Structure 1
Amino acid sequence: MTVLRIATYNIHKGVQGYGPTRRLEIHNLGHAVEQLDADIVCLQEVRKLHRREQRYFNRWPELPQAEFLCPEGYAAVYQTNATTRHGEHGNALLSRWPVVSHGHEDMSDHRFEQRGLLHVQVKVDRLDVHVIVLHLGLIAGSRSRQVEQLARFIEREVPRTAPLLVGGDLNDWGGKLRPAMKEIGLRDFMDHKARTYPSRLPLAQLDYVYARGLKPQGVEIPRGRVWGQMSDHLPLIATFKV
């Protein structure tokens, strides 16, 4: 039986702080992603490019962030959610297992927030596993409508017998989306205190990994001073048996 480690991590576009005191953390995040030792890494707030930051930071990577963070031997899949004045950012997935296919759907609920869904199918041994990377909205009503859209997408694009993972920054304070996710057949580790935000003093869980058709084993949150400096979120790692 294969053990599958799934991580989700909002990397805050590889930069911490604001204004003239902001600092580039993308290189530290590259080491951090390797230390997660996850088979699949779901990333949010990933820069494809940003012309202003590229001029500001001397060590800004030449590669898009998803490719820059991708460990050796992994495949990187990226999709833009938001286009801004200086660049683009979105969701990404890094996979130790071969990628079979990938797709994207716009989940923007209003004009002030550009959101998207990244759907990737990977081959784990001989089994097709579907993975969806999400970054839901800041408004409760938007999140509810986005989960309804997620349900329609799964019904349309994911076979009912296929193992499914949904990971990301759901902005879900207090786990209020759990009943709606349960209706889709998705469950998470609700018995664990998986606090991921803010990273320096975690008070709430905003980052989740939900699953269908996989046997849950456990969840872990890397902690410590270094992890609190790289992003405003901590990563969450969930383990399943396939």
Structure 2
Amino acid sequence: MTVLRIASYNVHHGADGADQLDLPRTAATLAALDAEVIGLQEVDVGFGDRSGHEDQAARLAELLGYEARFAATIDRPADDGARARYGLALLTRGAILEHWTEILPGASHLAAPHETRGLLGARVRTPGPELTVLVTHLDHAHRDHRAAQVRGILHRTAALDGPRVLLGDLNADPLAPELAPLAEAGWREALAETTGRGARSPLTSALAAALPVGPSASQATFPARWPLRRLDSIWVRGALEVTDLEVPRSRASDHRPTVATIRLPSIVGS
């Protein structure tokens, strides 16, 4: 039996809720998670002055001693002739055996999303079975765009087998209607997996997460200073078990990270 900690974190280009840039602080928060696999959103790579033109994926990997892959959802010319890129990243302690990027669609009946969204997929070596890891960041403005992007994820990953995890800022409560196709396709949300609290409505779930006491008090992720909403979540599929979910306190970003502990059997199926 292999036990892994996997995490998702919207790092807000290394800046906190007051937009103060401090990438070493971001790295310290990531190190404290003690996770073997970390999916990141809002990562800058040579994007501009706001992040010092730094390759944040490579720098975080260097500071932590992890392997990294980056997937650009925005890629445009920079003033110096290079590329200004922004998007998703994956950090792992184990080797990344292969990886791919998919740009996700918006809803056809709406104007194009203000920001292009994508999916970073990878096959990762662990101390036990190989694990497929997906990292995403869904549209923040309209649920129909999010619904189209969920359908895009399911279409792109339909042929995958073996254990897999989806890490992301989904910009919606896990019980929101636009995320329902994930559960219908066999994905299980980590908190529901550990607590059995999957029967609540999205409103009830959000209110419970915002309470200062009780079993859901520490599960909201946004805003980091006083979190009220569960925008960031971890989903699993296949022969693995989620045994714990936590949301560590941190104000290194405008979100808090979320971390799941999973168990993988020695022999796994789909």
Question: Which letter does structure 1 place at the counterpart of 2:242?
Answer: P
Kindly report structure 1 stretches of 4+ aligned residues shifted beyond 6 Å.
none
Distance 1:133 1:4 in 2: 17
Task: Flag the 1:125–1:145 CA change in 2: closer, same or farther, 3 A.
Answer: same
The answer to which of 86-95 and 195-204 deviates more is 86-95
The answer to which of 205-214 and 118-127 deviates more is 118-127
**Identity across aligned pairs (percent)?**
33
In structure 1, the partner of 2:221 is 196
In structure 1, the partner of 2:231 is 206
In structure 2, the partner of 1:146 is 149
In structure 1, the partner of 2:40 is 43
Residues 139-162 of structure 1, C-alpha deviations (whole Å, 9 max, x = no match): 100111111111111113x12xx0
Distance 1:76 1:43 in 2: 10
In structure 2, the partner of 1:184 is 185
Task: Flag the 1:131–1:233 CA change in 2: closer, same or farther, 3 A.
Answer: same
Residues 116-154 of structure 1, C-alpha deviations (whole Å, 9 max, x = no match): 100010122352210000100121001111111111111
The answer to which of 197-206 and 175-184 deviates more is 175-184
* Greater share of residues in strand: 1
SS in 1 for 2:46: strand
Task: Flag the 1:38–1:222 CA change in 2: closer, same or farther, 3 A.
Answer: same
Q: Is the 2:6–2:260 contact (alpha carbons within 8 Å) kept by the matching residues of 1?
A: yes
Question: Which letter does structure 2 place at the counterpart of 1:104?
Answer: T
TM-score by length of 1: 0.87
Q: Is the 1:104–1:119 contact (alpha carbons within 8 Å) kept by the matching residues of 2?
A: yes
Residues 144-197 of structure 1, C-alpha deviations (whole Å, 9 max, x = no match): 1111111111113x12xx001001100013621442111121101133632000
- Considering only aligned residues, what root-mean-square deviation do their CA atoms show, in Å? 1.9
In structure 1, the partner of 2:206 is none
Q: Is the 1:14–1:25 contact (alpha carbons within 8 Å) kept by the matching residues of 2?
A: yes
List gaps (5 residues or longer) in structure 2: 79-83, 107-111, 198-214, 265-270
**1:8-157 to 2 correspondences below 5 Å:** 8-16=8-16, 22-53=19-50, 60=52, 62=54, 64-70=55-61, 71-83=63-75, 87-109=84-106, 110-138=112-140, 139-156=142-159
Distance 1:143 1:111 in 2: 10
In structure 2, the partner of 1:57 is none
Q: Does 1:216 align with 2:208?
A: no
Q: Is the 2:113–2:139 contact (alpha carbons within 8 Å) kept by the matching residues of 1?
A: no
Question: Which letter does structure 1 place at the counterpart of 2:74?
Answer: A
Distance 1:184 1:25 in 2: 39
List gaps (5 residues or longer) in structure 1: 55-59
Distance 1:175 1:12 in 2: 24
